[in-house]
Structure 1
Amino acid sequence: MKKIAKFLILVLIVCTFGACSKNSTATQSTNSADSNKKITVTDGMKRKVELSKPAEKVLTNYPIAVQILCALNKQDNILGADGNAIKNPLTFSPKAGSSKTAASNDINVEQVIAAKPDLVIIYKKNKEIVPKLEKSNIKVFVISAENLDELKSTVKDLGILTGKEKKSEEFMDYYTKKLDSISNKLKAVDQKNKPKVYMAGGSMYSTPGKNMFQNSLIELAGGINVAGSLSSNKWCDISAEQLIGWNPDIIVLTQYSGVKPQDVLNNAALKDVNAVKNKKVYLIPSKISAWDMPCPQTMLGIMWLTIKANPEVFKDTNITKEVDDFYQQFYGTTYTKLGGTLD
């Protein structure tokens, strides 16, 4: 994950539009908004998080949490967020005069306490701040979402904590149905014919091993991650020789890799790689938000890659319609209207 750029805007900022697992345990009453019963969930660090009522004021320094909250229709309840999320058209369009951001990557405990949030959401790498916030009776939910089950669990738990269970269930139902549909179609693909996929992360020669979220994305899309034998839970640096030895059938470039398909196709050192010879080098299309991360848009990345990996099996899939429908359902606008394009 890239470093989070900035932390808080301690004024109310609002989204431009409406609707912006197995590891989870949660209990609450049927009508949480009117209930006096405690709401209890288990977060990504296996901590019990209890609220007396659904959170109305939420602070987070984690862009993916912002995307999830917007997809749950909770954008009006976010008191502040990190600077990158604010620049993202999928999330925020700050009110006039509210565009200031703190210049630090760190979470400022005093600022958080002064804002009096009902809930603070952080990424697990910031877990050391939890005791400091809890000392001041600040409720903290820690996110750990490194696979699809954990992502769905996180959406479910945040839906419970914010009183948006119905919307979170709608999200999980969408994911389940789409994954089932993809899985059923992939049954027609001979296991021996699965394409070998190489994904470039922060650079051309940085790739995800088997413990990375992106490995799951490749497998769910019907491909084989050529770096799947690497056990690291971080991006792995490799050599050009290693890539040539793997000889992938498809090369996928992330938006943040800094590499374009033509760069790879023109790279003389890679001219004998199958993906280059057959011109199967693709850039994940979304500049709005990364489709290869554990975020609400991950399903779009899976669907897009299934078409690239198995075009004959998914030849009837209208990816533009699928993407526009998703954005409309969960963000209240379409990918096309936001200026997104698909190749």
Structure 2
Amino acid sequence: MQRSKILSAAKAARQIENGVLKMRKSLLALTIAILLLILCLTAYYAWISPNQNEGTIAVTDALGRTVKIKTPINRVIITGKSAWPIITVAYMFPNAKNVLYGLSPSINVPLFQRIDPNITSKTVSTELSVEEIAKAKPDVVILKSTMKELGDQLEGLGISVVYVDFENLESYLRDMKVLGKIFMNETRGEELAKYYNDTYNFIISKTKTLADAERKKVLFLYYSTKGIVSFNVPGSDWLQTFMIKAARGYPLSEELSGTGWNTVNFEQIASWNPDIIFLVTYSNSPTSSNVKMQLLENATWSSISAIQNKTVYAVPDDCGVGALGSWDCPGSRWILGLQWMAKKIHPELF
């Protein structure tokens, strides 16, 4: 009798335990079903309401304007005169390859093809018109600050426009941070700005104690075959002059004002009598190396110190001069050019 009661109690306990297990399984299945329903509803409402996550960011551009841009930013156009240096900087941001459109065909070179395998489909045969830009429906258009006439027309159509310069160190530090916001990677913008600033400060730390008497006379020379063959030098406010000064050379053409090229004759060059000549052609025919050899072999130039000492240097243009220019241009590689120039001017320091 006692044994029968014990067996009955054990059976009842097992039934209760099985019931609890079944209840737990049911509750788990119900919980999973509810979670799946929530996920489905979330995805559905996100699909039917794509603007629910939209917002705005604000940037201060090169003209000191506060520009508000709607987010997410999915289409960015960089166009207008001197757009290519801006594009070379833009591609230092990983997200650029996902959002850039309407690019100059000159940028479609092996280097950028490696960065952006789809770049060919993003290039256009000619510079975009206002109507073509509007038709592309960009979230923002980035222009050089000198392109305000085009920018005004675009803003008149309700298109956000941001102006940049990328002409000297100060504008690089500012404009890289602006691109950091546009390409949704402010950390990258800060890192790039720090690299350029730190590199510049390193050069300055090495050269700042040099006396004026130790500064070599440096001539930056652009040999142009456009139209009439001519020699041209940069004005006082241009990047090439800034680079020579930072490397603690004496830029001979600094006495010429402005940010454009100034044509000079041989008599002026001979009067300056540079210790060092940096040469560019921005062309593959002739290259700067070709012109360098011509000058070294030209008897007319033999009285110039740089020719006598063979301190004539072709500025590197190793990645497609049509797309990137040489290392003196305001594209992303000028910081390499600064280091290269400093070593050529003061090899004992670098």
**What is the TM-score when the length of structure 1 is the normalising length?**
0.75
Alignment partner, residue 267 of structure 1: 298
For 1:310 and 1:36, how far apart are their aligned partners in 2? 53
Match of 2:203 among 182, 188, 200: 182
Aligned to 1:301: 337
What residue in structure 2 maps to residue 56 of structure 1?
A: 74
Matching of residue 116 in structure 1 with residue 137 in structure 2: yes
Aligned partners of 1:44, 1:80: CA distance in 2, in Å? 22
Q: Any stretches of 5+ residues in structure 1 without a counterpart?
A: 1-33, 315-343
Where does residue 194 of structure 1 map in the other structure?
215
Deviation of 1:116 (Å) = 1.1
Measured in 2, the distance between the counterparts of 1:247 and 1:277 equals: 11
Higher normalized contact order (CA 8 Å, seq sep 6+, divided by chain length): 1
Separation of aligned partners in 2, 1:180 and 1:99? 37
Contact 1:226 1:246 in 2 (8 A): yes
Deviation at 1:230, TM superposition (A): 0.5
Match of 1:234 in 2: 260
Cα separation, 1, equivalents of 2:182 and 2:119? 29
Describe the shift of the 1:152–1:273 C-alpha distance in structure 2 as closer, same or farther (beyond 3 A).
same
Q: Indicate the SS of the match to 1:142.
A: strand
Partner amino acid, structure 2, of 1:87: V
How many Å separate the matches in 2 of 1:42 and 1:96? 29
For residues 228-283 of structure 1, give each alpha carbon's deviation from its aligned partner in whole angstroms, at most 9, with x where no partner exists: 11012210001100000001110001241644211111122211111000000001
CA contact (8 A) 2:90 2:179 kept: yes
Aligned mate of 2:251, from 212, 222, 225: 225
User: Residue 89 and residue 39 in structure 1: after superposition, are their counterparts in 2 closer, same or farther (change >3 A)?
Assistant: same
Instruction: Indicate how the Cα distance of structure 1 residues 54 and 273 shifts in structure 2: closer, same or farther if over 3 A, else same.
Output: farther
| Alpha carbons of structure 1 residues 219 and 109: separation in structure 2 relative to 1, 3 Å | same
The answer (yes or no) to whether the contact 1:86–1:94 under 8 Å persists in 2 is: no
Q: 1:196 to 1:161 in 2, by over 3 A?
A: same
The CA deviation string for residues 13-57 of structure 1, in whole angstroms up to 9 with x for no partner, is xxxxxxxxxxxxxxxxxxxxx997642222223332111335321
Indicate the SS of the match to 1:120.
strand
Matched, 1:86 2:108: yes
Let me know the Cα RMSD of the aligned residues.
2.3
Give SS of 1:216's match.
Answer: helix
Residues 42-86 of structure 1, C-alpha deviation per residue, up to 9 Å, x if partnerless? 222333211133532111121112111111222221122111112
Distance 1:176 1:54, change over 3 A: farther
| 2:172 equivalent among 151, 158, 167 | 151
Deviation at 1:308, TM superposition (A): 0.3
Instruction: Please tell me the residue identity of whatever aligns with 2:118.
Output: K
CA deviations on 1:261-320 (whole Å, 9 max, x unpaired) are 111111222111110000000011123132112222111000000110000111xxxxxx
Q: Which one is further off, 304-313 or 141-150?
A: 141-150
Q: Give, as a single letter, the amino acid of the residue that structure 2 aligns with 1:201.
A: Y
State the identity as a percent. Answer: 29
Match of 2:124, as an amino acid?
Answer: T
Give, as a single letter, the amino acid of the residue that structure 1 aligns with 2:166. A
Partner secondary structure for residue 67 of structure 2: strand
Task: Give 1:111 shift.
Answer: 1.5
Cα distance change of structure 1 residues 236 and 170 upon mapping to structure 2, 3 Å threshold: same
Within 5 A, what are the aligned runs for 1:29-68? 38-53=56-71, 55-61=73-79, 62-68=83-89
- Hey, what's the Cα distance between the residues in 2 that align with 1:280 and 1:126? 39
Query: Aligned AA for 1:81?
Result: L
Give, as a single letter, the amino acid of the residue that structure 2 aligns with 1:139. Answer: S
Whole-angstrom CA distance in 2 between matches of 1:136 and 1:44 = 21
Map 1:194-343 onto structure 2 (within 5 A): 194-203=215-224, 205-256=231-282, 258=286, 259=288, 260-288=291-319, 289=324, 290-314=326-350
Secondary structure in 2 matching 1:227: helix
Query: Which whole-Å CA distance do the structure 1 matches of 2:120 and 2:349 have between them?
Result: 51
- Tell me which protein shows more helix as a share of its residues: 2
Match of 1:25 in 2: none
Counterpart secondary structure, 1:180: helix
CA shift at 1:129, angstroms?
Answer: 1.3
CA drift at 1:112: 1.2
Give the aligned residue type for 1:55: I
SS at match of 1:174: helix
Taking the aligned partners of 2:106 and 2:242, their CA distance within structure 1 comes to 25
